[in-house]
A = this chain, B = another copy of it.
């Protein structure tokens, strides 16, 4: 795993950790007493602690007692919705959208979006997330926050057909202006909302634009079994079949949440010529009483299933670590098979499959020479993570997001020993608190959209 040492001191050396690595068959393993050398934002070497004894470095991190993992990837969220965390609880999705979220979202100002996104970034950095795929409005503002906070993100400006062709045009404009910005940490996508809010002609036009500009398409589809049944009754086709007809399975597409993917969708997905990924956010599915994403069926097709949290207004949390544990637990429960979706499989979803789902598998998702240095260090010394008979199980089932001590993106430390270095949480919370009464007002009778799917 060693390439010839570059000259001059390394930017960062992490030493003494147990590093999660993948072998050539992508099996998850652990390298003991490992050292990770970072130069110019890239992993330059993965070796032993002894192997870096004589190497100079600008910064050394002693990570004994800690595990080094690829940074977690939140494959589908709406970061500004952190401002609405807890606003509409214990409700079916129709009431959640129509009576709360869409009326309140019609109040959102750019400043609310900024504060929500900033708080979301703080939460994600603290939880070991180094990349997120964000799907929302006012995304110029979110892009600024990403640039400021140092995270990596794939960003898409959402649109409905109810906005007319301007919605799609604005999404494209955003994608072209922002891709490659923030020193390359921002990638972009086209972001139609969903087949029930964007008509088939608009979806087909989106597929054309994606092909023309080499852009990922990120959208909600087959969110629940009820949506699939509704789509069949209304259109004679499932949401996945509609994506197929519109050409969206012949481009790179990231589908949230796919819990309504049914058997007849499997050959459609198998025939996709584009790169299809699914983002799965299991906490929210439990809360809305939706089925789980059919991970086993998708694995059979070789379709990557990345981990996600959805927005905090439905999920209450941007805790991808919890999404990893819940993916293992819910899959065991719903397939009736305790052997399915082992801890190592869950770690594969959290790393390579998530990176693939967001179209970044050449850059992130593994601790290997040449990948971007997006790394997290996880404390294993707490009583709840000891003893360690099986490190994969310890990570998935015993450790928690709060055990992440250090978060690094492109070799830059964004959190050191639990201290956030790029977000002033208290200031954000203070200002957001002053704005909440106006934000949560629902008396004006406006909604940004109607839920009827």
Which A positions have Cβ atoms within 8 angstroms of B? 83-87, 89-93, 119-120, 122-123, 126-127, 283, 285-290, 312, 316-319, 328-330, 332-333, 335-339, 342-343, 381-384, 386-390, 392-394, 397-398, 400-403, 420, 423, 425-426, 428-429, 432-433, 436, 440
Residue of B nearest to A336 (CB): B289
* Secondary structure of the A contact surface, majority rule: helix
Which chain B residues border A388 with CB–CB below 8 Å? 86
Contact A286 B318 (CB under 8 A): no
User: Is B343's CB under 8 angstroms from A387's CB?
Assistant: no
Inter-subunit contact A123/B384 (CB<8 Å): yes
**Given known contacts A393-B86, A398-B317, A436 and B387 CB-to-CB distance under 8 angstroms:** yes
> Is A338's CB under 8 angstroms from B288's CB?
yes
In the assembly, what is the distance between CA of A118 and CA of B330, in Å?
A: 31
| A328 to B87 alpha-carbon distance, docked (Å) | 17
Minimum-distance CB pairs A-B, first 9: A402-B402, A316-B397, A122-B383, A286-B329, A86-B389, A86-B390, A86-B393, A123-B383, A286-B333
Q: Are A90 and B127 in contact (CB under 8 A)?
A: no
Pick the residue among B83, B85, B91, B401 that contacts A338 (CB under 8 A): B91
> Shortest beta-carbon distance, A154 to chain B, in Å?
21
A330: B residues at CB distance < 8 A:
286
Of all chain B residues, the one with the shortest Cβ separation from A126 is B383
Task: Establish whether residues B393 and A289, one from each chain, have CB atoms under 8 Å apart when the complex forms.
Answer: no
23 contacts between A and B (CB under 8 A): A84-B389, A85-B386, A85-B387, A85-B389, A85-B398, A86-B390, A86-B398, A89-B390, A89-B393, A92-B339, A120-B383, A126-B384, A286-B329, A289-B332, A317-B398, A381-B425, A383-B425, A386-B425, A386-B429, A386-B432, A387-B429, A387-B436, A389-B440
Write out the residue numbers on chain B whose beta carbons fall within 8 Å of the beta carbon of A440.
Answer: 389
List B contacts of A283 (CB < 8 A). Answer: 329
Contacts of A93 in B (CB 8 A): 338
Cα–Cα distance between A84 and B429 once the two chains are bound (Å): 42
- In Å, the complex CA distance between A388 and B89 comes to 12
A316 partner, pick from B285, B318, B393, B433, beta carbons under 8 A: B393
- Whether the pair A287, B332 counts as a contact (CB closer than 8 A) is yes
Most buried by B among A287, A289, A390: A289
Q: Which of B312, B333, B383, B394 sits near A289, CB closer than 8 Å?
A: B333
How many copies of the polypeptide does the oligomer hold?
Answer: 2
Complex interface: chain B residues within 8 A of A394 (CB) = 85-86, 316
Point out the residues of chain B lying under 8 angstroms from A392, CB to CB. Answer: 89
Chain B residue nearest to A341 (CB atoms) is: B90
Question: Which residues of B sit under 8 angstroms from A381, Cβ to Cβ?
Answer: 425-426, 429
Give the complex CA separation of A119 and B388 in angstroms.
Answer: 13
Please report the C-alpha to C-alpha distance between residue A186 and residue B329 in the assembled complex, in whole angstroms.
34
Q: Are A289 and B337 interface neighbours, CB within 8 A?
A: yes
Q: In the complex, which of the residues B89, B317, B337, B389 contacts A384, with contact meaning CB atoms closer than 8 Å?
A: B317
Given A90-B339, A389-B84, A390-B87, are A384 and B286 also a contact pair (CB < 8 Å)? no
Contacts of A287 in B (CB 8 A): 328-329, 332-333, 338, 397
Task: Please give me the residue from chain B that is nearest to A397 by CB atom.
Answer: B316
Q: Which residue of B lies closest to A385 (CB)?
A: B85
Inter-subunit contact B85/A317 (CB<8 Å): no
Quick check: A387 and B432 within 8 Å, CB to CB? yes
- Write out the residue numbers on chain B whose beta carbons fall within 8 Å of the beta carbon of A397: 86, 287, 316-317
Question: How many Å lie between the Cα of A449 and that of B89 in the bound state?
Answer: 46
**Which residues of chain B are within 8 angstroms of A423 by Cβ–Cβ distance?**
383
New A-B pairs, 6, CB < 8 Å, besides A126-B382, A317-B398, A387-B436: A85-B386, A89-B342, A122-B383, A289-B333, A316-B397, A386-B425
Residue of B nearest to A425 (CB): B383
Q: Is the CB of B87 within 8 A of A389?
A: yes
- A433 and B387 contacting across the interface, CB-CB below 8 Å: yes
**Complex CA–CA separation, A384 to B93 (angstroms):** 23
**Chain B residues whose CB sits within 8 angstroms of the CB of A333 once the complex forms:** 285-287, 289-290
Q: Taking A329-B283, A329-B287, A400-B401 as contacts, is the C-beta distance between A83 and B335 under 8 angstroms? A: no
Q: How far is the CA of A61 from the CA of B425 in the complex (A)?
A: 24
